Structure 1
Amino acid sequence: MLLDNLTFHPIYSQLSLPVKHRFPIEKYQGIYDALIARGVQPDRFVTPEPISVEYLKRFYDHAYVDALISGQLDYQAMRRIGFPWSEQLIIRSLTAVGGTMLTAKQALKHGVALNLTGGYHHAGADYGSGFCLFNDLYLAAQTMLEEPGIDRILIIDLDVHQGDGTALLAQQDEQIITLSVHGEKNFPHRKQQSDMDFPLPKGIGDSDYLNVVDEALSLALRTYTPDAVIYDAGVDIHEHDDLGHLNITTQGVLLRDKMVLSACRQRTLPVACVIGGGYQRDIAALVAVHLQLFRAAGVLDTD
């Protein structure tokens, strides 16, 4: 039986950005097209609705939410986010966050679910940063905690950049555990304190990297015994990524994703996955690296 455990909306890639803008907005549609071309049926996908402003305000600063949505956020605050303001930016962002929340629900239903965007881990309660307007990982955790029998969520963030916004949001929340394995000398310059941080040196390769991930996973799962997992599978760790500064091969990315999903499966932990960061300018090459998550999850064959 085919599962409806993939989340996608065309609006994920429908955002006009200035020429040579650093964000690879086309990659989301590229991942969807690549999955369809490889035989994934369209009925495997569920379509998210935008998250409501009222729900956002349950967890985020009202003034920030209102100013950002209305286009009244000041220049410096928008510059920190890294996108020019537009109505489409807001609709797209609310839908992407809604997609991660829907993915969290689908993970509880199916055991594993994947959003073809997500990982907006730099946003805090009253600010956006690093291409992140609203922190979908934190909201997805809150969504999972609303379900009976789900009392503790582990957010595994393996994007090359520390999940600083998530760490800050969850710092006083004992039900949400944050784990970040990230480049020590990479953005953000000022790191926050996650429940568990594993900083990596520049240029680390597959073997050493996978050993760190294995250690981090084992320690986190043993120490915190979560009821569900949210996994940020950022591929900006890749050797060809423009912003990563690490030396992880495509095979290394696949092995990492298999490691995470296998650890969750062995413990029967529902896991909601987002694709996270990835900044190669060659969109086809970038999509190929992101597809490793879908191979690890069994959506595609590991050819």
Structure 2
Amino acid sequence: MFKIAFHPLYKHPVPDNHRFPMAKYELLPQQLLYEGVVQKEQFFEPDFPDLKSIYAVHDKMYVTDFINLNLDARAARKVGFVQNKQLVERELLLVQGTIDAALMALNDGVAFNIAGGTHHAFSDRGEAFCMLNDQAVAARYLIDHHEIKQVLIIDLDVHQGNGTAEIFSGFQPVFTFSMHGKTNYPFKKEQSDLDIALEDGIDDATYLQILNDILPDLIEKIKPDFIFYQAGVDILASDKLGKINCTIEGCKQRDALVFSLCKKHNIPVQCSMGGGYSPHLSTILQAHAHTYKVAKDLF
């Protein structure tokens, strides 16, 4: 059985503009248990990380200022959350949750973090609800402390993983692949190792065809020892910030394609949930729950 990182503090911070659906982090575990997708013993609570693992990808001064609540007003506004101790604790626990899940995936094939996918966090700053880049930290941790030579980060959130791209620019052991909305945030894109910019309004068939044309060959070419998957569900047509017209079924098929390729090539995969901003929380929960259902069927 795969494992899932979850901590009660995942739910606490409230963003300045109240658009970020924090309740999903508390409700998704309940939904998965209610539907019988997972069992209670599959959840684990991460502890606080060794800061050295964070310094491996983030500027030490930035991390120190964030932890001590000393970010200047401009930096704090770009993040979007009210700065407080609970937020700091949440972000640290979130990062360790992804590290732990990655280690568990080495044995179980797949593991999850209920939160995470904070791909807008740069090496020296945070943006758009992202303070520390959980999958970047975990990727570097595997490379530095385990026999992982090549990592592939698959970022299918509707927004480009600009922070991840910046962190690993020129770092060959990590290949960054981002498939995102062309006209969506961030409006100034970074350069991933492979960027696929999607036109507004594309449907399931087009989205899945593009992904299927690229991902199998990319995995064959890169031959990763480990995959990190950012599984944002903001590609849904109902998403307030998305501009892509995928359905819940299309989102499920996307997840099935990623996980089936990981399974086929025997590549461990850690999945963080990423974004989702549909008006109805039930839509977000349903889409995220499908990601777990697909993994349960395949692993």
Q: TM-score range by the shorter chain?
A: over 0.9
Aligned to 1:280: 278
- Tell me the equivalent position of 1:32: 29
Displacement after TM superposition at 1:133 (Å): 0.1
Give 1:57's match in structure 2, choosing from 55, 58, 76. Answer: 55
Q: How much does 1:70 deviate? A: 1.0
Task: Read off the aligned partner of 2:26 and give its amino acid letter.
Answer: Q
Give 3-state SS (helix, strand or coil) of 2:296's partner.
coil
Match of 1:212 among 210, 213, 216: 210
| Separation (CA, whole Å) in 2 of partners of 1:65 and 1:265 | 36
Call closer, same or farther: CA 1:54–1:144 in 2, change over 3 Å. closer
- Give deviations 1:88-122, integer Å, cap 9, x for gaps: 01001111111111111111111111111110001
What number of residue pairs does the alignment pair up? 297
2:181 aligns with 183
Looking at structure 2, the residues matched to 258 and 59 of structure 1 have their Cα atoms a distance apart, in angstroms, of 30
SS of alignment partner, residue 298 of structure 1: helix
1:169 matched to which residue of 2? 167
Q: Tell me: CA distance 1:175–1:11, structure 2 relative to 1, closer, same or farther (3 Å).
A: same
For 1:133-191, what per-residue CA distance to the aligned partner results, in whole angstroms no more than 9, with x for missing partners? 01111111112224544200000000000001101111121000000000000000110
- 2:74 equivalent in structure 1: 76
Q: Distance in 2 between matches of 1:26 and 1:245?
A: 23
- Aligned residue in 1 for 2:263: 265
* SS in structure 2 at match of 1:297: helix
Aligned to 1:133: 131
- Does the Cα contact within 8 Å between 2:3 and 2:104 map onto a contact in 1? yes
User: What 5-or-longer segments of structure 1 have no aligned partner?
Assistant: none
4+ residue segments displaced more than 3 Å: 146-149
Q: Tell me which amino acid in the other structure corresponds to 1:118.
A: G
Match of 1:108 among 94, 101, 106: 106
Q: Distance in 2 between matches of 1:281 and 1:97?
A: 27
2:220 aligned partner: 222
Aligned AA (1:91):
E
- Residues 8 and 115 of structure 1 are in contact (CA less than 8 Å); yes or no, is this contact kept in structure 2? yes
| 1:51 shift after superposition | 2.1
What are structure 2's unaligned runs of at least 5 residues? none
How high is the TM-score relative to the length of structure 1?
A: 0.94
Alpha-carbon RMSD across the aligned residues, in angstroms, is 1.5
